[in-house]
Structure 1
Amino acid sequence: MWLPLALVLLAADALAVKRHDFKTCEQSGFCKRGRALAARAKAASSTWKSPYSVDASSVAISAQKSSFTASVVSSLYPEIKFELEVRAHDDGTFRVRMDEVDGLRKRYDETAKWALIREPTLSDAISWKQTKKEIKATNPKSGVEFRVQFAPLRIALSRNGKEEVVLNGNGLLHMEHFRLKDEPSPEQPPVENQEGEEQVVMEPPVKPNAWFEGDQPPQWEESFGGQTDTKPKGPESLSLDISFPGHGHLYGLPEHATRMDLPTTTGENAKYKDPYRLYNLDVFEYEADSEMALYGAVPLVHAHSTHSTVGVFNAIGSETWVDVDHPTSDSTETHWISESGIMDVFFLPGPTPDDVFMQYARLTGTPALPRHFALAYHQCRWNYISSTDVREVQARFDQDDIPFDVLWLDIAYAPNHKYFIWDEKTFPDPVDMFNDVAAFGRKMVVIIDPHLKKDTTYPVYKSASEKGLLVKPASGSGEYDGWCWPGSSAWVDYFNPASWDWWQGLFKIEGNNGDFHWRQSTTDVFIWNDMNEPSVFNGPEITMPKTNIHHGGWEHRDVHNINGMLFQNATAQAVMHRTDPPQRPFVLSRAFFPGSQRLGAIWTGDNLGTWEHMAIGIPMVLSNGIAGMTFSGADVGGFFGNPDPEMLTRWYQVGAFAPFFRAHAHIDTKRREPYLLDEPFKSIIRDVIRLRYSLLPVWYTAFRQASVSGIPVLRPQYTVFPHDPKGFSLDEQYYIGSSGLLVKPVTAPGIAETEIYLAEAQPYYNYFTAKIYRGKRSGTNVTVPATLYQVPLLIRGGSIIPTRERPRRSSALMARDPFTLRIALDASEQAEGELYLDDGNSYEYEKGHLVWRKFTASKVAKGPLKITSEDMAALQGGKNVVDGVDVVPFGSQAPNAFRDAVQGVRVENVLVYGLKSRPTKVSVGGAEIEWEFTEGAAAKSSSEGTATILRIRDPAVKIVNDWSIEVAF
């Protein structure tokens, strides 16, 4: 039955954020038990000791000497055995796993299978050395020492004799073993420590009043919000503490609406009272300052100090709470409490931020190199209601000369929310509509959610049901029935391998094998995966019951945070393989998990059109990038509300400097497409969108760098200047890739100027006016203009910025446009930059079909300034690094269809900022060319004002060639 719009809106309104719809730690039995353990340990202070220890006689070092296993016992339950495994990898990382041995049931141990891109290669450079008390190894390449103390179990990573990461240093490790519900709880007497003093030990968690004076937290059954989790396997939580001595700043743990430098959740003067929760949830109208769980979960942290950066990746897919504390100003302690799973922790030794990024990327994969159009401007709202509406929106953008690349369709296109099916009344000609949009080089994105309407006349549901591909209820038989947009719904189980080929078949455009597939589509259509936490309107905490059963018999509680990533993965594979050869997909996902960066983009969900949400979106995007999810952004304008013109204009300035740039709005909001605004707001927004388009070469090059290294596209201050403590908590300004562009968007009303922090004694140039701002070695704040029509955007001295300045309707129409090079000289009159280009669609770049240039400006003493372009392939020894690991030989002599296709693309302008003196001649290959010079301040001096500008017009050089421009004085 068709769900009336009023009921849809009622359902949506029911999801408006109310804290009582979502658990606190106190309302979560396993979190409450974990926090009680921490409180008891803290109260016992120096007498507290972990009950877990390694049986030294059980240590078995592998033949390769790069790993070992050992038995672990707990004084609480001597009859329960655990196995510890430690591996050293060739990139310097370490992995620690611990699981029950011959337990009553098997714990979920497959999280890493979904997160890792491959099993890490073991090191052949280290060997373990065992004594009676410990086993340790030192990596001769990095000097990092990894030590496992036997009794009590304590694991530490050290550098130069100083511990930097410690696991179980506070004795909070506790793995609740599987047991029978009526299993008796042993009495455990106190034991003595080595000094003869009474040693406090952790009492059995099932013993009455062991941790509490009052009632025990529920272990075998738990109710919340009128629903009951029967917990048929009983308690199985995992608690562990990880400390970072000497590191006072912690980043990561997305997704949370909070500062990049994570505030404390416990200890003295804690910012939040609850731990950070990692549990993918549909949180409608989330708060702009909160520790509450949101749509994604990445259990990764970076700890930073002036001397090093280290990281920890905890490969756990179940609900997890993380407490953060700073017992001293230069140390950090974390406590991780997970509902189920095994210990599977990766130590990332750094020592630089970039090293940690690359170490994590080698584990879970680098971000995918996106389609070029995906970096341009996207126009979306709930809902464009018809094909006529779509055509009118496109026409209005063109009428007002505002570029865009992608037009989005929300759920209204599908009758009764039957995805893949078109409403024949409102969208009678979908293929013609797609082709009309594509005629201007544009694409469309269509939403496909994970829930399927339970209706046997709906071929997608009917097929999935007949093939047994749907998630099961707790009984393990039949199909789980929940409520979402279509009403009664079922969910495909993407943990079932059979679902992947079936899902891929749905996206086939051509052919007819008797099965349903999406014939009314084209290869210019891409996909939006929403609601994939999964969102279930009548489920506990608006998601799926934890007792539901997935492929292999695993409960949903074990895999909840992984679920959304698998949906996006299946969709990305389907979009990729609808053509032969495959093309790069574009799939936007709301839920995410480690490894999601390999698949596509994410966004920060259902934000509000408020200044607070505009501001918090920036650190949220930075935090996503720190955790690998660099292709992200916040809905421009806010999903809810009706921002006034000033706010909307500032939203566009924020969005234009985010990796994912999309305007989106709720169905109840007023239409706010930029062409509807009065002047001057319409023109200001047009200009900032055009600015985004002119900078697409910078963005694409930054994404190429991220796809190779894992270093995020948006680089926070601490990653660029890791030894400057003044920048460690800055999350309002950031750099775009290695380009040298420094931006600080305005996120408050009535602003006419703002301060930007400069961390070095170098000149920075206003992107629009070439005014010089001079940094200091000790760091300084400079005041820059920031009225409504001014974006605070600086070019770091020593940078070369390649742009395309011709206004076009879409990025596809810019493919053969000429380039402008902005050369911002540093104090030594040097500069460099990169440009990466390929066809923007295929995987041919992996075969070397690309253009990759390095630009250099160099001046020595009283000699000329030489501006050169070189082939980065040649500079890299003829290697094209792909996926951060593999290499494909290529170079100037190798076949390169893309280079041939853009052979005629030229450089039409070169702008040089900051020369000390007026040139006498500018030449290419000995032939003098046209130029003009404007007097001003030099990069090398201390004077203020606008920089000198040398403009070289049409130097007759091609973007694909090696060349040199000589500026004589």
Structure 2
Amino acid sequence: MKTLGLLLVAALALSGSYAVDKNNFKTCDQSGFCKRLRGFKPEKSQYTLNLDTVLVHGNVLSAEVNTVDTSTPQRTVLWHYALRLSALVDGTFRVEIDEADPLYPRYRTQLALKEEPKADGLKLLSNENGKLTLANTQGQKVIITAEPLLLEFVNAAGEVAVVLNDNGQLVVEPLRVKKERIDDDEANVVDVQEEEGTWGENFKSHHDSKPRGNEAVSLDISFPEADHVYGIPEHTDKFSLHTTTSGEPYRLFNLDVFEYDLDSRMAIYGAVPVMYSHGTKRSAGVFWHNSAETWVDVVNYADSTVVSSLVNLVTGGQKRRVDARFMSESGIVDVFVFLGEKPADLFRQYTALTGTAPLPPKFSLAYHQCRWNYNDEDDVRGVDENFDVHDIPADVIWLDIEYTDRKKYFTWDHLKFPHPAEMVANLTAKGRKLVTIIDPHIKREAGYFLHEDATEMGYYVKDKDGKDYEGWCWPGSSSYLDFFNPVVSKYYAERYQYDNFPGTSKDVHIWNDMNEPSVFNGPEITMPKDCRHYKPPQDGNDGLAAFWEHRHVHNEYGLWNIRATHEGMLLRDNSKYRPFILTRSTFAGTQRYAAVWTGDNAAEWGFLAVSVPMCLSLAAAGVSFCGSDVGGFFKYPEAELMTRWYQAGAFQPFFRAHSHIETKRREPWLYEPATTALIRDATRRRYALIDFWYTLFYEHSIDGLPVMRPLFQEFPAEEDTYTIDDEYLLGNALLVRPVVEPGVTSVKVYLPGAASRTLWYDVDTYHAHHANGYLTYDVTLAKIPVFQRGGSIVPRKERVRRSSALMADDPYTLVVALDINGTAQGSLYIDDGETYEYLNNKHIYAKLTFEPNAMTYSFIDENAHYPTRSWVERIVIAGIKSPPKTAKLTQAGKQTALQMTLHKGNDVLVVRKPAANMAQPWTINFTY
């Protein structure tokens, strides 16, 4: 009954019956290593570099670092460490500090990096007065002070951009043997008293055995003359990170937090330990390469909350500066330092390490309809047909856990879904897809093939005693596959093959939820840290060296899960088709395999508002494919909130409506007709821009820049943009300010670029606005402010159909928004939308350029071609002051005179039906 009660409590929480119970989750004081390290006083010991051991070879400096007891005259060496400094391409450095001779290897994060980082050169310039100066081939330098150890990273302009260990908070707790003694009668062995929590600690009713003892690491990182820092998602406060000294640090520990709080630094589903600094002088960044539980303190010396005692810790007492301190429970110090000049450079440097989102299948950028749960095949059919009845486009219907045979994944409920293949075929006939959920917990039921195989072959994660770990999740008693074992990942991937998962096809895609992993009766609703994971066998691997503990790998678990899913999806058709996967657990590198949503939000205005900074933060951390549950997962959105959420969601990368099983049904046609019409309009706006979105994602895949961008990325010198997180840019062309407040008739919108005399055109009226900071903009229930940047060209498809696949060959409308010089440019990407043939030059990547005398469409990659039947239906030129008299299209050696219409009220010229074929280059010449 106790276990059943725990499951019931978890289920009640998931139903939205009450908000998050913070007592279920640790504070820093309840997390042994966080409390211990946060209180660390740097004067007690120091780390010093042994200059006699310095060796520079290729792109690497290696040396010995010692901890010295400064409280004794003898300055006793306490421990030896190995320092490794690497120079990498693109202005990136890597610093690793590990024990020189640990009792057994410390865990090094495995899957976050897409490949081994590419080496640059490293040259030792000087070694004098206790300091080393080194430089890479790009003129960026590292100055290492030996005692106490200090590393200063100097950018190409000669400015110190990042400092490591300036506050002396470097800590690497050495692994130790547990001390024991024999009592007086020599009959019993008892533990020697050590610091409380060294070999175990408790939280509520859970005990963590900590067989390796304390093994935490810590490092302080300073950003001189920075105004703000950003990153370390996933949290629900502002995009710009605030000082934490008066409260809890930011926590990075993937957790299933029911109805998570707003404006909070609590850990939720994602943990991406990358941080960027920015100010008027420079940008910089760091990536803390560690998958264990991590807490991050931030001190911004411009914040009024920073007390004088903290300011006194800063060498030199700079006023403009932000400090951060990363504290992880285990692993090594492994930090990448980015010395990019501007925010865009930093974002590229990070994705160069961890990868970009590959080009997704085109349908995944359209609208998704989900609910926990669509009841049966008739329900799915009815939802599908109602989108057509109400003329609302949709590309995907989703099925949550109830489609399975009693929560057994890779099965169907044969009563509710007796003909899954036929159901899928009915969807695909309209160009639509199906997404089904597959969670990592496996039901422990005799006769269930997956459980039987995993038990027989030892594929489950083990508990601290080496037995199959058993926890509770949706199926009840569950165990969890150990994806760190390549044999297990291969087995799991093969479950996705069509003969192993009957009823699926290339048009069925996957949702990996609950993969933090969520364990209803576990500590903090997750897996105990002393569970055991596979470790590759090595000579002498026995005892504690024979496995990794869950504490070492926790934040990576979901990443290994989705990687195995991704491999399985590719196996289905010999890597012909691009898979779509959605994940909830997020870590560095997640973007290489899956899209992400912001988890179980609620139908409240605050959750709509926070979706913007949450997705901005994830995008800056490499995860561009982000969205929130439209309408809110818990509770019921009334008409105004639902309308505003659709309008916002239509301009976020991942656009899906989703709701809880106990909420009132809220498909778009279930509202009053006026609300349905507004939802229809918002959704159709998304489809009109589907090729714009597709082009942005293609460009992200090759340049690593976020699709959804903070304003300061494009306007890095404009200080007012540094804290704006209620509006954003899509690429460099569209500015979006969602309406996230109830009952308003106007909102404040910031139009950046005054110094460059940037123009911004309302996308509905084409009226131009000069950038001049904030303005008050009128809105109605049918409108949110969206502006096209002067100097850009945006492709649109105005013939919206029931799904994006049916629009593939439809004509384009090209919207040209002129800058103050009367010029504009843009790009367009076209391929088949679903296969990897684009990698074999079967695509079009084109540049669109407008000059007063001509508009041209040319191929960026002249070796690539695709036989599209799309053509140009209209060209809308906004901001034209002196319209041309004639226009002639030249394509394939043929000239055609074109018709034009001038709309004088808003300076718009429409070139009517040029009928240019998008499979070939073309030019339109204007005469005046």
- TM-score (normalised: structure 1): 0.88
Shift of 1:469: 1.1
2:14 pairs with 9, 12, 15, which one?
12
Shift of 1:183: 7.8
Amino acid at match of 2:697: F
**Equivalent position of 1:313 in the other structure:** 287
Q: What's the secondary structure of 1:873's corresponding residue?
A: coil
Amino acid at match of 2:495: L
- State how 1:104-143 maps to structure 2 within 5 Å: 104-109=103-108, 111=109, 113-124=110-121, 126-127=123-124, 129-131=126-128, 133-141=130-138, 143=139
State how far apart, in whole Å, the 1-side matches of 2:55 and 2:880 are: 66
C-alpha contact 1:237 1:341 (8 A) present in aligned 2: yes
**Equivalent position of 1:769 in the other structure:** 765
1:808 pairs with 775, 794, 801, which one?
801
- State how 1:82-481 maps to structure 2 within 5 Å: 82-109=81-108, 111=109, 113-124=110-121, 126-127=123-124, 129-131=126-128, 133-141=130-138, 143-159=139-155, 160-182=157-179, 218-266=197-245, 270=246, 273-328=247-302, 330-476=320-466, 478-481=467-470
Q: Within the alignment, does 1:690 sit opposite 2:684 as a pair?
A: yes
C-alpha contact 2:126 2:133 (8 A) present in aligned 1: yes
Shift of 1:140: 4.3
Q: What's the secondary structure of 1:56's corresponding residue?
A: strand
State how far apart, in whole Å, the 2-side matches of 1:725 and 1:217 are: 48
C-alpha contact 1:50 1:153 (8 A) present in aligned 2: no
C-alpha contact 1:529 1:588 (8 A) present in aligned 2: yes
Tell me: CA distance 1:139–1:843, structure 2 relative to 1, closer, same or farther (3 Å). same
Q: What's the secondary structure of 1:791's corresponding residue?
A: coil
State how far apart, in whole Å, the 1-side matches of 2:764 and 2:265 are: 39
Q: Within the alignment, does 1:932 sit opposite 2:916 as a pair?
A: no
State how far apart, in whole Å, the 1-side matches of 2:335 and 2:122 are: 21
Q: What's the secondary structure of 1:822's corresponding residue?
A: strand
**Equivalent position of 2:489 in the other structure:** 500
Tell me: CA distance 1:220–1:15, structure 2 relative to 1, closer, same or farther (3 Å). farther
Q: Within the alignment, does 1:53 sit opposite 2:48 as a pair?
A: yes
State how far apart, in whole Å, the 2-side matches of 1:928 and 1:707 are: 38
Q: Within the alignment, does 1:526 sit opposite 2:509 as a pair?
A: yes
C-alpha contact 2:792 2:825 (8 A) present in aligned 1: yes
State how far apart, in whole Å, the 1-side matches of 2:896 and 2:504 are: 54
Amino acid at match of 1:456: A
Tell me: CA distance 1:932–1:547, structure 2 relative to 1, closer, same or farther (3 Å). same
Amino acid at match of 2:763: Y
- State how 1:482-881 maps to structure 2 within 5 Å: 482-510=471-499, 517-552=500-535, 553-738=547-732, 740-760=733-753, 761-776=757-772, 780-859=773-852, 865-874=853-862
Shift of 1:119: 1.1
Q: Within the alignment, does 1:31 sit opposite 2:34 as a pair?
A: yes
Shift of 1:102: 1.8
State how far apart, in whole Å, the 1-side matches of 2:883 and 2:298 are: 57
Amino acid at match of 1:962: P
Shift of 1:9: 3.9
Q: Within the alignment, does 1:921 sit opposite 2:886 as a pair?
A: yes
Shift of 1:956: 2.5
C-alpha contact 2:122 2:134 (8 A) present in aligned 1: no
Shift of 1:230: 1.4
C-alpha contact 2:405 2:413 (8 A) present in aligned 1: yes
State how far apart, in whole Å, the 1-side matches of 2:557 and 2:637 are: 34
**Equivalent position of 1:879 in the other structure:** none
C-alpha contact 1:656 1:688 (8 A) present in aligned 2: yes
State how far apart, in whole Å, the 2-side matches of 1:207 and 1:422 are: 55
Please give the per-residue CA displacement for 1:51-96, whole angstroms capped at 9, x wherever unaligned: 100111111221x2x2111111101472421100111112221111
Amino acid at match of 2:904: E
C-alpha contact 1:853 1:960 (8 A) present in aligned 2: no
Shift of 1:128: 5.5
Please give the per-residue CA displacement for 1:124-181, whole angstroms capped at 9, x wherever unaligned: 364454335122212342x321122111111110133331111101000111111233
C-alpha contact 2:13 2:258 (8 A) present in aligned 1: no
Q: What's the secondary structure of 2:271's corresponding residue?
A: coil
Tell me: CA distance 1:128–1:438, structure 2 relative to 1, closer, same or farther (3 Å). farther
Q: What's the secondary structure of 2:77's corresponding residue?
A: coil
Shift of 1:49: 7.6
Please give the per-residue CA displacement for 1:261-287, whole angstroms capped at 9, x wherever unaligned: 012111xxx4xx100000000000001
Tell me: CA distance 1:139–1:50, structure 2 relative to 1, closer, same or farther (3 Å). farther
Q: What's the secondary structure of 2:532's corresponding residue?
A: coil
Gaps in structure 2 of 5+ consecutive residues: 70-75, 182-191, 303-318, 536-546
Amino acid at match of 2:768: I
Shift of 1:353: 1.2
Tell me: CA distance 1:627–1:818, structure 2 relative to 1, closer, same or farther (3 Å). same
Amino acid at match of 1:910: I
Amino acid at match of 2:918: I
Q: What's the secondary structure of 1:957's corresponding residue?
A: coil
- Two-structure CA RMSD over aligned residues (Å): 2.0
Tell me: CA distance 1:49–1:349, structure 2 relative to 1, closer, same or farther (3 Å). farther
Amino acid at match of 2:731: G
Q: What's the secondary structure of 1:302's corresponding residue?
A: strand
Amino acid at match of 1:260: F
State how far apart, in whole Å, the 2-side matches of 1:675 and 1:573 are: 38
C-alpha contact 1:11 1:537 (8 A) present in aligned 2: no
Shift of 1:840: 1.3
C-alpha contact 1:931 1:950 (8 A) present in aligned 2: yes
Q: What's the secondary structure of 2:861's corresponding residue?
A: helix
Amino acid at match of 1:623: S
Shift of 1:715: 0.9
C-alpha contact 1:408 1:446 (8 A) present in aligned 2: yes
Percent identity between matched residues is: 44
Tell me: CA distance 1:172–1:7, structure 2 relative to 1, closer, same or farther (3 Å). closer
Amino acid at match of 1:106: P
**Equivalent position of 1:911 in the other structure:** 876
State how far apart, in whole Å, the 1-side matches of 2:128 and 2:573 are: 59
State how far apart, in whole Å, the 1-side matches of 2:293 and 2:362 are: 36
Shift of 1:182: 3.0
Gaps in structure 1 of 5+ consecutive residues: 42-47, 185-205, 209-215, 511-516, 860-864, 875-889, 937-946
Please identify, of 216-225 and 904-913, the stretch whose mean Cα deviation from structure 2 is larger. 216-225
Shift of 1:922: 2.0
Tell me: CA distance 1:220–1:787, structure 2 relative to 1, closer, same or farther (3 Å). same
Amino acid at match of 1:176: E
State how far apart, in whole Å, the 2-side matches of 1:914 and 1:20 are: 58
Q: What's the secondary structure of 2:81's corresponding residue?
A: strand
Please identify, of 72-81 and 283-292, the stretch whose mean Cα deviation from structure 2 is larger. 72-81
Shift of 1:330: 2.2
C-alpha contact 2:361 2:580 (8 A) present in aligned 1: yes
C-alpha contact 2:60 2:86 (8 A) present in aligned 1: yes
**Equivalent position of 1:22 in the other structure:** 25
User: How many equivalent residue pairs?
Assistant: 874
State how far apart, in whole Å, the 1-side matches of 2:355 and 2:373 are: 35
C-alpha contact 1:280 1:297 (8 A) present in aligned 2: yes
Tell me: CA distance 1:381–1:324, structure 2 relative to 1, closer, same or farther (3 Å). same
Q: What's the secondary structure of 1:584's corresponding residue?
A: coil
State how far apart, in whole Å, the 1-side matches of 2:525 and 2:77 are: 40
Shift of 1:6: 7.7
